[in-house]
A and B are shown apart, each in its own frame.
Chain A
Amino acid sequence: MENGVVLSMRKIGKVFPGVRALHNVDLTLRKGEIHALMGENGAGKSTLIKVLTGVYEKDAGEIHIDGEEGAITIRSPQEALSHGISPVYQEITLCPNLTVAENMYIGRTRGLFVSQKEMEKKAGELLAGLNIPARPKQQLGSCSLAVQQMVAIARAVDGDCKVLILDEPTSSLDDKEVEMLFKLMRDLKARGVGILFVTHFLEQVYAVSDRITVLRNGELVGEYEVGKLPQVELVAKMMGKELESLSVIKKENPDGEKASEPLYEAEGLSSSESRPFDFHIFKGEVNGFTGLLGSGRSESVRAIFGADRVTGGKVRMNGRPVRITKPYDAMRQGIAYLPEDRKRDGIIADLSVRDNILLALQVMKGFFHPISRAEAEKFADEYIKALEIKTASQDTPVKSLSGGNQQKVILARWLLTHPRYLILDEPTRGIDVGTKTEIQRLVLKLAEEGISVTFISSEIEEMLRTCSRLIVMRDRNIVGELRGSELTQEHVMHTIAGGGN
Chain B
Amino acid sequence: MKKQKRPTGLTQLLVPLIALLLLVLFNLIRDPSFFSVEMTANNNGDPVLTGNLISILNGASEMAILAMGMTLVTAASGGQDISVGALSTIAASMFIKVLRGGASINAGTLLLGFLLSCLVAMAFGAFNGTLVAVFRIQPMIATLILYTCGRSIAYWINGGASPTVNSPLVSALGGFIPGIPIPTPVLIVLGVGLLFALAFRFTSLGLYMQTVGINQGAARLNGINAVGMKLLAFILLGACCSVSGIIGASRLSMVNHEQLMLDIEMDAILAVAIGGNSLGGGKFRMTGSIIGAYVIQALTTTLYAMKVASTDIKAYKALVIILLVVIASPVVKQKVAHLVGKMRSNAVGKEAA
Chain A interface residues (CB < 8 Å from chain B): 305, 307, 326-328, 331, 337, 339, 344-352, 355, 358-360, 362-364, 367-368, 370, 395, 397, 400, 413
Contacts and interface: CB of A to CB of B under 8 A. Distances in A.
Contacts of A370: 201-204, 207
Given A362-B207, A367-B205, A367-B208, 14 more contacts: A307-B221, A327-B221, A327-B222, A328-B223, A328-B224, A339-B218, A344-B215, A345-B218, A345-B221, A346-B221, A350-B282, A351-B207, A363-B224, A370-B201
B6 interface: yes
List the 6 closest A-B pairs by CB distance, nearest first.
A328-B223, A363-B223, A350-B283, A370-B204, A331-B223, A348-B214
B26 to A, nearest CB: 34
Contact of A348 (B6, B211, B223): B211
Nearest to B205: A367
A68 B170 CA distance: 87
A348 B3 CA distance: 16
B289 interface: no
A359 B207 contact: yes
Contacts, number: 80
Interface in B18-49: none
Interface string B211-233: 10011011111111100000000
B345 interface: no
A339 B203 contact: no
A368 B217 CA distance: 22
Contacts of A363: 204, 222-224
B297 interface: no
Given A327-B220, A344-B218, A360-B223, A351 B203 contact: no
Interface in B302-325: none
Contacts of B8: 352, 395, 397
B210 interface: yes
A273 to B, nearest CB: 14
Contacts of B223: 326-328, 331, 360, 363-364
Contacts of A355: 207, 210
Given A327-B223, A350-B283, A359 B211 contact: yes
Given A307-B221, A360-B222, A348 B215 contact: yes
Nearest to A395: B8
Contacts of B202: 368, 370
Contacts of A348: 210-211, 214-215, 218-219
7 contacts: A339-B221, A348-B218, A359-B207, A368-B203, A370-B203, A395-B9, A397-B6
A331 B223 CA distance: 7
Contacts of B205: 367
Nearest to B218: A345
B55 to A, nearest CB: 38
A301 to B, nearest CB: 12
Contacts of A337: 221
Nearest to B228: A367
A294 B9 CA distance: 42
B215 A347 contact: yes
A351 B204 contact: no
Contacts of B201: 370
Contacts of A360: 222-223
A339 B218 CA distance: 9
Most A CB contacts (10 A, CB to CB) among B217, B222, B282 go to: B222
A348 B222 CA distance: 10
B289 to A, nearest CB: 17
Contacts of B220: 307, 326-327
A359 B210 contact: no
Nearest to B281: A350
Contacts of A328: 223-225
Nearest to A328: B223
A367 B203 contact: yes
Most A CB contacts (10 A, CB to CB) among B214, B215, B221 go to: B221
A344 B214 contact: no
A351 B218 contact: no
A322 to B, nearest CB: 15
Contacts of B215: 344-345, 347-349
A475 B201 CA distance: 50
Contacts of A305: 221
Contacts of B6: 350, 397
A271 to B, nearest CB: 14
Nearest to B208: A367
Contacts of A352: 8
A329 to B, nearest CB: 9
Most A CB contacts (10 A, CB to CB) among B204, B210, B211, B223 go to: B223
B225 to A, nearest CB: 8
A326 B222 CA distance: 10
Contacts of A326: 220, 223
A392 to B, nearest CB: 11
A370 B225 CA distance: 16
Given A351-B283, A370-B204, A345 B217 contact: yes
B98 to A, nearest CB: 31
A337 B222 CA distance: 9
Interface in B261-283: 282-283
Contacts of B3: 400
A355 B225 CA distance: 17
B242 to A, nearest CB: 23
Nearest to A307: B221
A347 B218 contact: yes
A362 B204 contact: yes
Nearest to B278: A350
A305 B221 CA distance: 9
Nearest to A355: B207
B117 to A, nearest CB: 26
